[in-house]
Amino acid sequence: MNTYNKTVLKYFKNPKNLGEIKNPDATGTVGNPVCGDVMKIYLRLDKTKNRIKNIKFQTMGCAAAIATSSMITELAKGKTLKEARKISNKDVASKLNGLPSLKMHCSNLAASALKQAIDNFERKE
């Protein structure tokens, strides 16, 4: 059985940056067809500094999917796009004090959604 630690449960029960940004500068959406998790990241940028001014997420999935989505937004907020691009799934899992091995794919999805949003922004510019 997968058991979640207190940090994961905290971010699942009280996620940070949950919601949608109207008219975002960029979005990234990823999903895992095996487990059914879907994550969408919204970015609002301070374009003069190429910095993430606001970031939100919407996730359909398990506790780990919601917790990792919340954590990636916490880690990325205020960072430059270059700094945010370097945030890895291991960074997300580490800040959550670990994930059950069967749930590590959630941290991959969160990091991928952020990178996709950054890629989508850079393609538009």
Q: Which residues are catalytic?
A: 35, 106
Instruction: Write the DSSP symbol of residue 35.
Output: T
Among residues 93, 30, 45, the alpha carbon closest in space to that of 67 is found at 93
d(C-alpha 46, C-alpha 34), whole Å: 36
CA of 56: how far to CAs of 35, 47, 49, 77, 92, in Å?
22, 17, 19, 9, 16
DSSP H or E run through 71:
helix 63-76
Please check whether residue 89 is in contact with residue 108, taking contact to mean a CB–CB distance below 8 angstroms.
Answer: yes
